[in-house]
Amino acid sequence: MAKQQKMVEDITSMEVDFAKWYTDVVKKAELVDYSSVKGCMIIRPYGYAIWENIQADLDKRFKETGHENVYMPLLIPEHLLQVEKDHVEGFAPEVAWVTQGGEETLSERLCIRPTSEVLFCEHYKKIINSYRDLPKLYNQWCNVMRWEKTTRPFLRSSEFLWQEGHTMHETKEEAMEETMQQLRTYEEFYRDTLAIPAVTGRKTDKEKFAGALETYTIEPMMHNGVALQGGTSHYFGTHFAECFGITFTGRDNTQQVPHQTSWGVSTRMIGAIIMVHGDDNGLVLPPKIAPIQLVIVPIAVHKPGVLEKARELQEQLKGKFRVKLDESDNSPGWKFAQYEMKGVPLRLEIGPKDIENNQCVLVTRHNREKTFVSLDELPQVIEQKLQEVHDGIYQRALENLKEKTSVATTLDEFLDIAQNKPGFIKAMWCGDSACEDKIKDLTNGVKSRCIPFEEEHLADTCVCCGKPAKHMVYWGKQY
């Protein structure tokens, strides 16, 4: 046991420097470390445990809706990437190329997958022959690589971990249903597991995925008013399938082309968790994915009976919750700060007086609320408290989202908000991408986030050009 008394290192305040606050948190909570490879991160045990909990939850949702996991190759031959024009244009500038294998120079460059549409298409061509082979509902958990110029842990790194679903369907209707179902799955996962509210909707043509007919997105709002593309679900129509020559014999015995979707979320979600829920004391983790849900801190640990009681509680609780007992010699104050920084949702304090009274203290991380709890009711109260934390941080995030959503009906108003009040701007749009370009230029980076499923009528004309408006759009800066 450590005699040494380390102090929890300081974290830069959010208000002072949000970017520095973010990197302080990811480093000091031991989520990641940098490596000697530009833009590639090391995900440390505490960070990876969050990812494992995310994976387990999402994977269960995917399997319940009939999806199967597969594994495709890491490398894509250049000619395969080039089969679909938009796709290669979108990705070729940002891939890593393998040109040597062992001692030999390869006759064709291979790129490290930035995404695997083309690999799935190549495989589907072989295994889809009849309508009986459809739908194909495949997903893969893997690493992908995009050669990024500026990187930030979780938010934008050259290599990241993700899941990519790729499905093939008999009809457009079925494929659209899948596209929407998977977006809904993400929305539910964000809400019910990560305690993160978000705006969802359709991307404009300009912001669509390279090669997709429609891209749907989930856009949570970070604490500082910057949005983040939290997950996307794409409908491809039959275009990729045509490029790859995938056909099937339909129910009416004609040759048909299947309709395709893809959808994905990545380790970037961990960045969202940090920036939506975190505060100046560090991480605040949603209970459902917290590697430690409850930390037990014994008070006056050398007094007789304290450690024994703490261990007894740990034994009692460990089958039901992810529990850690910190038996180290560090002071309770140090431990409080340490596990607050690590975002542990609940702290249980127990000392000699508590034991006398058959009670303990529970403290919720997000609001530091203290409750005295009878030891007889402990498991039930912990259950309730974890739910309270979930609901509490969800509400707080929802208020932030609402507070950081403004409405603009004129360009002046728009520019004023863009400059002075970071967040979403709801405004009308004519449908022309020239207006998206202009707004981006004038605002130093505000882009259309999405056209929500339920549009409001804020004005008759486009906020930018004044022509008749076609859609209400959420705008904002993004990570």
Interacting residues with its own copies (CB under 8 A): 2, 4, 33, 35-37, 40-45, 48-49, 51-52, 68-77, 80, 93-103, 109-110, 112, 119, 122-123, 126-127, 132, 138, 142-143, 145, 147, 158-159, 161
Between residues 118 and 348, which has the closer beta carbon with respect to its own copies? 118
CB of 156 to its own copies, least distance (A): 14
C-beta of 70: minimal distance to its own copies in Å? 5
Q: How far apart are CA 198 and CA 424, in angstroms?
A: 11
- 109/184 with CB nearer its own copies: 109
Q: Which residue, 96 or 398, has its beta carbon nearer to its own copies?
A: 96
Min dist CB 472 to its own copies, Å, is: 36
Contacts of 77 (CB under 8 A, 6+ apart): 108, 109, 110
Cβ-based nearer residue to its own copies, 76 or 218 = 76
Least Å distance, CB 48 to its own copies, is 5
- Minimum gap (Å) between residue 41 Cβ and its own copies: 7
- Is the Cβ of residue 18 or residue 141 nearer to its own copies in the bound state? 141
Output 13 or 69, the one with its CB closest to its own copies.
69
Task: Report how far residue 401's alpha carbon sits from residue 454's, in angstroms, rounded to the nearest whole number.
Answer: 17
**Residue 154 Cβ vs its own copies, minimum distance, rounded to whole Å:** 12
Minimum distance of its own copies from residue 410's CB (angstroms): 40
Q: Which residue has the tokens 């889809």?
A: 128
Long-range contact set of residues 421-424: C-beta below 8 Å, sequence gap at least 24: 421/225, 422/224, 422/225, 422/226, 422/477, 423/221, 423/225, 423/476, 424/199, 424/221, 424/227, 424/449, 424/474, 424/475, 424/476
Closest by Cα among 218, 45, 233 to 139: 233
Contacts of residue 287, Cβ cutoff 8 Å, sequence gap at least 6 = 293, 345, 346, 386, 387, 389, 390
Question: Which of left, alpha, beta for 298 (phi over 0: left; psi -120 to 50: alpha)?
Answer: beta
Considering the complex, what minimum distance in angstroms separates the CB of residue 327 from its own copies?
A: 14
List the beta bridge partners of residue 265. Answer: 163
**Secondary structure letter of residue 282 according to DSSP:** B
Identity of the residue, 14 or 80, whose beta carbon is nearer to its own copies in the bound complex: 80
Closest approach of its own copies to the CB of residue 285, in Å: 17
Give residue 65's Cα distance to chain centre: 20
Alpha carbon distance 72, 84 (integer Å): 19
Q: Which helix (H) or strand (E) holds 415?
A: helix 411-420
DSSP 102-148: TTEEEEEEEEEPS--HHHHHHHHHHH--BGGG--EEEEEEEEEE---
- Of 31 and 408, nearer to its own copies (C-beta) is 31
Nearer to its own copies, 330 or 400 (CB): 330
**How many Cα neighbours within 13 Å face the side chain of 474?**
32
Structure token digits, residue 434: 């020239």
The kind and range of the H/E element at 304 are none
